[in-house]
Amino acid sequence: MPPGPERFVRLEEQENTANAETTRPSLTYWQDAWRRLKNHKPAIAGLVGVVLIILFAVFGPLFVRESYSDQNLDFSNLPPTLAIFELAPDYYVFRTEDYKVLRIGGDGEILYRLPRTTQDPIKKLYTYSDGDQDIVLDFSYNLLPGKMDSPFDYSFVYQGNEITAPAKTVLNKNYPFGTDVVGRNLLVRVMYGARISLTVAFVASLVNLLIGVAYGSISGYEGGRIDIIMMRFVDLLNSIPLVLYVILIMVVFGNRGLNTMIIALGSVYWVTMARLVRGQILALKEQEFVLSARALGVPRSQIIFRHLVPNAMGPIIVSMTMMIPSAVFTESFISFIGLGVSAPMASWGTLANDALTGLLSYPYQLLFPSLAIAFTMLSFNMLGDGLRDALDPRLRKG
Amino acid sequence: MGRYFLKRFVYSLFTILLISSVTFLMMHSIPGGPFTRERAVPDEILKVLNAKYNLDDPLIVQFLNYMGGVLTFDLGPSFSKVGTSVNDLITSGFPSTATVGAWAVLSIILVGIPLGVISALKQGSSIDYSVMLLATFGVTVPSFVIATLIIYFFAGQLGWIPPFGLSTPQSYIGPVVALSGYSLSFVSRLTRSSMLEVLRQDYIRTARANGLSEFSVIMKHAVKNALIPVVTYLGPTIAAIMTGSFVVERIFAIPGIGRYFVESVSNRDYTTIMGVTILYAAFYVMMVLLVDIIYALVDPRIRFEKESKN
């Protein structure tokens, strides 16, 4: 059959169908990374967690009147939930572990402490007064022989009635996280602790980033003898248990401030970053765009910081997100062994350390700072994992 | 091969010496001597004390003396515990620290690696999810929290283990779990991901196609290769175990080196701080060397790479 027009398909139709399948909007590296990050559910959860912690640290203290150092010895060691006794209709009291009696509103608001008027340690009877009414606390049930078998431990006697069981458990309205041993609001302290822990983590990571990127990129770009000497130094630092050196630096500086902690963490942990950046730069510097930049006479520092470092930004950011939680961890560790910021300021590690002494009676004092640490670690780790997947071009698909 | 080991060994010795010098200089750059108290010590007493501990010598003499001591394993007297030397503290503390540490390392290897392998083989199953959940918990919760939780529940509420000391075999459980928690979780996560990577490789398919039993495919081909990155991590693990001992020994009241270190930090007992730092650093450097040697023996690729790079 001779070739004729009927054997040809119109070009536009073919082109259109092909186009619909193969083209998609062109995305930059960061748009593409964000698109993939959005589809990674744990990473988004981590991101939300990180934002929440930052909001908590930055804005939390603005919403409370107290500061981290305000104390009220009347209200020391109050738990976050109060088992309250109803002595008369709508008349609630709470007995603390150290036999203070507090007047509580029915909704969990702490009103005031009732003064103890007489005490009889032999019979295990304490009398408290509220205005002209006396309240007798009988705590002999769990202590005196003969009464040990009774089903309850304490009883209140008020206007001739004996009340043996708490009426209900209410949430502590004044102190949602409870109070510590001198009656400081734990919620406020955890908020300010978040400020300290996160400031240390962010600034130390930033310092690490700056030192690590500068060191690694210079070492990688220069190559040769400079590279060998610089990397030998890194190897040397890397063969030292770094926490030991952070502790040593803390001891040497002596004053227990935020700055010391930042200097200590920042001066030691840049080693991994330097190695990573060097590896990236080594691979990148052989590419044509560097050659062309050099041929155009771009100065060395500009080649490094305008051309090479931005191209290595993906792994750098991932390593940075991983560095922040480990800085939080190290900071809390060092504070825990007593080298953190000085009182009355407190980071999460210090708070956990303070909680140790009263652990059996007041476990909640350890719970909240530990939860804060764990939550931060988890959020940053999930975000970091997601970022690693999103920023790695080798995993690019679809 | 032999040259490589020798080179690494000399390099490690050099590292230890350098660490010792840096530590010495750091401790001597602290303003105020070791006998500075809040109430001023009379000059005559200070003079006698300085003469007794040779602190009136020029810095270079002190430095050479100290380094000579380090080379002959003599770390000098303790400044805050009168009459005891740093060596005494170390020899009295080392057994407990070493036993707990050894158990921790053992449990990391014997529990962490199998957990990772199993969860990789059963990827997506409930076993996998629970192992990964536990591992995430272990990586996110600090060791001091794990330690206090153990004391609170198992020693306080349930009374299964003693809350402090190392008097009975059960009392090792708490410190070992707290000490190994982080690294164990990390190792099982690492083993899992590296195992998943290896199982996708062609040589595993080839091994299966050759009709090898599933057991020998997993044990001989997959696990062996998957362990290479895990071996690399063992060096830092030792660091984690050692620094972890500061906290764990304090919480469980174990009379080990870690506790002496923390005490000496708060007492400003400079010689003890220096001595323990050098000991830890030397131990760590030697362990890293050991791991590198094992690594080179396990994976010939790495040895040649390193040799050609040097």
A125 has which bridge partners?
A120, A138
Look at residue A255 in the predicted model and tell me its pLDDT: 67
Maximum pairwise Cα distance, chain B: 86
CATH code for the part of the protein at B90-309: 1.10.3720.10
What is the tens place of the pLDDT at every residue in B125-142?
A: 888 888 888 888 888 888
Mean pLDDT of A278-307: 86
- Cβ A241–B239 below 8 Å, yes or no? yes
Nearest Cα residue in chain B from A243: B243
Average pLDDT of B134-162? 82
* pLDDT digits 0-9 by tens, B223-267: 888 887 788 777 778 777 877 788 888 888 888 888 888 777 777
- Count how many pairs of residues, chain A against chain B, have C-beta atoms within 8 Å: 100
Q: Is B48 exposed, middle or buried (CB count within 10 Å of its CB: 0-12, 13-18, 19+)?
A: exposed
- β-sheet bridge partners, residue A88: A91
Lowest mean pLDDT among A137-151, A254-268, B171-185: A137-151
- Report the distance separating Cα B206 and Cα B217, nearest Å: 10
**Contact assessment for residue A329 and residue A388, using Cβ atoms and an 8 Å cutoff:** no
Residue A397 has pLDDT above 50, yes or no: no
Secondary structure element (H or E) that encloses residue B246, with its range: helix B224-251
Percent of chain A with pLDDT over 70: 90
Say what the pLDDT of residue B37 is: 65
Q: Is the pLDDT of residue B309 over 50?
A: no
List the one residue out of A57, A69, A55 whose CA is nearest residue A328.
A57
Give contacts of A353 with chain B, Cβ < 8 Å: 144
The DSSP result for A234-303, as a single string, is HHHHHTS-HHHHHHHHHHHH-S--HHHHHHHHHHHTTHHHHHHHHHHHHHHTTSHHHHHHHHTT--HHHI
E strand or H helix at A170, and its extent? strand A168-171
pLDDT exceeds cutoff 50 at A141: yes
**A contact residues 25-54, partner B, Cβ 8 Å cutoff:** none
Q: How close, in Å, is residue B282 to chain A by CA atoms? A: 9
Give the pLDDT band of residue B55 (cuts 50, 70, 90).
confident
Residues A338-365 pLDDT 10s: 777 777 788 888 888 888 777 777 888 8
Per-residue model confidence (pLDDT) at position B78: 77
Q: CA B65 to CA B58: how far, in whole Å?
A: 11
Among the ranges given (A202-211, A378-387, B289-298), the one the predictor scored with the smallest mean pLDDT = B289-298
User: What mean pLDDT comes out for the span B34-47?
Assistant: 73
The residue of A50, A232, A239 whose CB has the most chain B CBs within 10 angstroms, and thus the best one to mutate to test that interface, is A239
The full length of chain B comes to 310
| Whether residue A18 has pLDDT greater than 60 | no
pTM (predicted TM-score): 0.80
Q: How far apart are CA B293 and CA B290, in angstroms?
A: 5
> For residue B157, is pLDDT > 80?
no
- Residues carrying CATH 1.10.3720.10, chain B: 90-309
pLDDT of residue B310: 40
Residue in A251, A380, A385, A389 to test binding to B, most B beta-carbons within 10 Å? A251
Query: How sure is the predictor about B308, in pLDDT bands with cuts at 50, 70 and 90?
Result: very low
pLDDT at A51: 92
Contacts of B23 in chain A (CB under 8 A): 248
For residue B78, give the DSSP letter: -
Q: Which residues does chain A have within 8 Å of residue B144's beta carbon, measured at their own beta carbons?
A: 333, 336, 349, 352-353
Do B18 and A236 count as a contact with CB atoms less than 8 A apart? yes
Q: pLDDT tens-digit profile of A228-269?
A: 888 888 877 777 777 777 887 877 777 677 888 888 888 888
Residue of A nearest to B268 (CA): A251
Mean pLDDT of chain B: 80
Closest CA to A104 of A87, A126, A119, A117: A87
Interchain CB distance below 8 Å, A252 and B29? yes
pLDDT of residue A175: 80
Q: What is the mean pLDDT of chain A?
A: 79
DSSP A184: B
Q: Does A383 touch chain B (CB under 8 A)?
A: no
Nearest CA in chain A to B242: A241
Which residues of B lie closer than 8 Å to A, measured between beta carbons? Answer: 12, 15, 18-19, 23, 26-27, 29-31, 136, 139-145, 148, 151-152, 156, 239, 242-243, 246-247, 250-251, 262, 265-266, 268, 273, 277, 280-281, 284-285, 288
B1 pLDDT tier (thresholds 50, 70, 90): low
The residue count of chain A comes to: 398
Contact call for B12 and A239, based on CB within 8 A: yes
Min Cα distance A324 → chain B (Å) is 13
Partners of B186 on chain A (C-beta within 8 Å) are none
| Inter-residue contact A290 to A373 (CB < 8 Å) | no
